[in-house]
Amino acid sequence: MLTLPSSARVAALAGAWVAGRDQDVVFHNPAQLVGVRTDFSVSMARLGDKTNMASLTSVYTAGKLSFTLGWGVHLIDFDATNRQNAVATIAGAVLYKGLRIGAAGKYAADRRDINQHALLADVGVARNIWGGAVALAVQNLGHSTLSDLGVEKLPRRVAAGFSKAQSAGPLDLALFTQVSHRSGWNSAAAGFEAGYSWIEGLSVTGRIGVRRPERTDEKPVSLGGAFTADRLTLEYALQLFDNSKRSHLVTIRWR
C-alpha cells in the first residue's frame, strides 16, 4: 500500500513523483506542497480482477513562509482475500531561504484476520535549480513492523529526483526522474508528459513512464493522458502485466 501510485498521473509517469508538481506529493514528498495549486482530486483504480483502489487529496495555502497544508487518504480493497489497506496523511511545508521543507504524519492500517496499524512520518526537502526542482524525501519512518508479530516490515524509503517543465512552441513539456532505495530494493524511474492547449481553458496531455519493475510479471512501461476543461481535469493511466493483464486508473481533479 505504501509503495503503490496514488493517482493516474503518478502511475502514468512510473511513480517518479518525489519532485512532483501536484497535490499527490502529499504521499511522496511533503516539501513539494509549496506552490502546488489548491484543488481537490479523487482517484479510482482497478488493480487486477479483484482489487480496487481509491484516493482523495487536497491542498490549502495558509500564510507566512508560503506555509501550505495538505491531506490525503488512500484505500485498497482486496476482494479475493477480504483484506483492506488504508493510509491517511496530513502534511505541511514551508519555504525558507529558497529551500522547501516539509513533513507528514501518516496512519497506516492493514485489516484482515489480524488488524495491524502504524503511525509513520515522512520528511522532505526541495529546491529550485537548473530551471527545475531537485528533491529528496525519507518516507515511512516509525516502527519497523506493522504489528507486534514482527512479520511485515515497513517499506522505509529514501528517494531523490529532479523535475523540469518548459514550453516548446505550442507544447508544454515536463520531465520527472527519480531514484529510490529501500531495504533489498533499488530502482530508477522517469516520466515524460506533453500538453497542448488550442484555446484557453481546454487542453490535452499525453504521458509515458518507464521504471525498473519490482515483480517479474510487471511491464516497465506505463501510459496515460489527461483532458482539462476549465476547472475540471480527467486523467487516465494504464499499467501492463504479463498474460495481457492491465490495471486502469482514473483521476478527477477540481480546482
Domain boundaries, the chain: 8-254
Pairing of strands 83-96, 40-46: unpaired
pLDDT reading at 27 higher than 50 = yes
Instruction: Decide if 98 contacts 128 (C-beta within 8 A).
Output: yes
Residue 46 burial (C-beta neighbours within 10 Å; 0-12, 13-18, 19+): middle
Burial string for 169-190 (b: 16+ CB within 10 Å, else e) reads eeebebbbbbbbebeeeebebb
Residue 240 CA to residue 251 CA, distance in Å, equals 18
Instruction: Decide if 237 contacts 55 (C-beta within 8 A).
Output: no
Cell 487518504 sits on residue: 73
In the chain, how long is the greatest CA-to-CA distance?
58
Write down the pLDDT at residue 84.
Answer: 86
Instruction: Decide if 226 contacts 208 (C-beta within 8 A).
Output: no
> Which residues are CB-neighbours of 67 under 8 A, at least 6 positions away?
61, 92, 93, 94
Helix, strand, or coil (residue 12) = helix
Residue 248 CA to residue 1 CA, distance in Å, equals 16
Write down the pLDDT at residue 151.
Answer: 47
Residue 105 CA to residue 85 CA, distance in Å, equals 17
Q: What percent of the chain has pLDDT over 70?
A: 93
CATH architecture classification, 8-254 = Beta Barrel (2.40)
Residues 121-151 have pLDDT tens digits of 999 999 999 999 999 999 999 875 555 544 4
Record the pTM: 0.91
Residue 153 CA to residue 156 CA, distance in Å, equals 9
Q: Across-strand partners of 67?
A: none
Which grid cell sits at 71? 491531506
Q: How far apart are the first and last CA of the chain?
A: 27
Write down the pLDDT at residue 105.
Answer: 97
Write down the pLDDT at residue 128.
Answer: 97
Write down the pLDDT at residue 244.
Answer: 74
Among 25-34, 104-113, 156-165, the range scoring the smallest mean pLDDT is 104-113
Write down the pLDDT at residue 79.
Answer: 67
Residue 59 CA to residue 56 CA, distance in Å, equals 11
